[in-house]
Structure 1
């Protein structure tokens, strides 16, 4: 069974942490993964940088540019991850945009993910129709979960279609903004979360965009199986000792 499915079967209030591969330094990718697991993260989302990250706010955009400038590519990333599973046991996702995946080759990408122990992918700009028609079999043959995103504007019919195609979890965006905006849980947002929860989807959900502290994490967990933190963590590791930065950040949630 895929590690993602196993995790959701046995745990609640799941904490997923996003960070950019090759940031702050090109060779930090696996060290951060190991430190996050040690400090209590449940899922890792390792971002592979792209030059035009349309869904990302300024913090993650800047981390992507720095990583690219230092030489990060998918080829380099897979080389870094070849020993990932020596010390990392929790689920690992790769997150990024479809262009680098197409350049690398979808079959090659899925094969490389499986070889290094990646459990799934989040590719926000991969159209659902194309995934279903061209890539679904390839992903599933390599035991990879493809994680779809929904927003407050996503139609119920599309949500059910996404649910039928999903074999991991559904990424529930708290808003249609870019990453890095603070979560503001007013009546409209709570109604949206409650509406999705009321659909009784077969797949678990994780809330992302704007989760930055214990308060917003706990609020998200009232409506979903857990939450995803990205920008706040990328900020936290920008300077200083990596192990200390990771441990200090995670204590806010797992202390």
Structure 2
């Protein structure tokens, strides 16, 4: 299984963030935002303010067909695209954020934008910008099975191996999202091609669901950690600070996206400030789960 750190100073940022939160006996707080939402300037302001409360920032690449996302993130991605998002905005935002502080920066993109840009160039630019790692949730071999074969696959192998080679060469962590009802063998296989974090959904279905966390989630987290040897991030369905506190008791990282964006939607004239307030509330949630000192 892949548990060692890739040879990259940027990848080490995630390892350090996880080590800090582990020393505090809590999960690391990861906050997700599509780059360019609600505008380039307001989104970057929001990310800088969110960084004051987060251990990890996950920068999303807006896409026209975000198959795993619910209406909240779909709307945010569409707004960012309408505002003129370009891939250069991702690299510029990451460069600015990593230069400004110690918060680790990850990226999340569906496969198609990476394929169009060029996997090798994309990975190299991410690493140059200080990004620690990448989650590509719809790779056919490692995601939900919703992807399809492409010309790139035929020329250079599968999409997953194409990306893994590019990420390894650039020194990036490659995170994966476990599919529903994955067998032990499948989880072990995912662990062998994953580094940094492996992602577990807190609730079934699309992002942004507002329902109780699965009662089986603690067992699933322990199972994934045992079979892969990797830190486990819980996301997709963390909707309240109380749920963040609940998941922080057994996960290595808690990822929140739709809940922050939902608040930004409600206060469009103060999106950055509202994002900062939401980040603070979720940070208090993960810290609330820390066991009392003895």
* TM-score normalised by the chain length of structure 1: 0.90
Residues 1:20 and 2:34 are matched in the alignment: yes
Distance 1:217 1:126 in 2: 27
Residues 1:46 and 2:56 are matched in the alignment: no
CA change 1:15–1:71 in 2 (3 A) is same
Distance 1:189 1:152 in 2: 12
Distance 1:227 1:207 in 2: 5
Judge which range, 241-250 or 19-28, deviates more.
241-250
Distance 2:29 2:92 in 1: 26
Total equivalences in the alignment: 253
**Matched residue, 1:224:** 251
Distance 1:27 1:186 in 2: 37
Residues 1:177 and 2:205 are matched in the alignment: yes
1:9 counterpart (2, 12, 19): 19
CA contact (8 A) 2:36 2:89 kept: no
The CA deviation at 1:121 is 0.9
Q: How does 1:47-62 map to 2 (within 5 A)?
A: 47-62=60-75
CA change 1:183–1:4 in 2 (3 A) is farther
CA offsets 1:110-140 (integer angstroms, 9 cap, x no match)? 1110121111111111234735532323212
Residues 1:31 and 2:45 are matched in the alignment: yes
1:211 counterpart (235, 238, 258): 238
SS at match of 2:228: coil
CA change 1:195–1:202 in 2 (3 A) is closer
The CA deviation at 1:246 is 2.6
Residues 1:250 and 2:279 are matched in the alignment: yes
Q: CA RMSD in A?
A: 2.1
The CA deviation at 1:159 is 0.7
The CA deviation at 1:9 is 2.5
Distance 1:65 1:193 in 2: 32
The CA deviation at 1:153 is 0.9
CA change 1:43–1:82 in 2 (3 A) is closer
Report runs of 4+ in structure 1 exceeding 6 Å deviation. none
Task: Mark the runs of 5 or more structure 1 residues left unpaired by the alignment.
Answer: none
Distance 1:158 1:165 in 2: 11
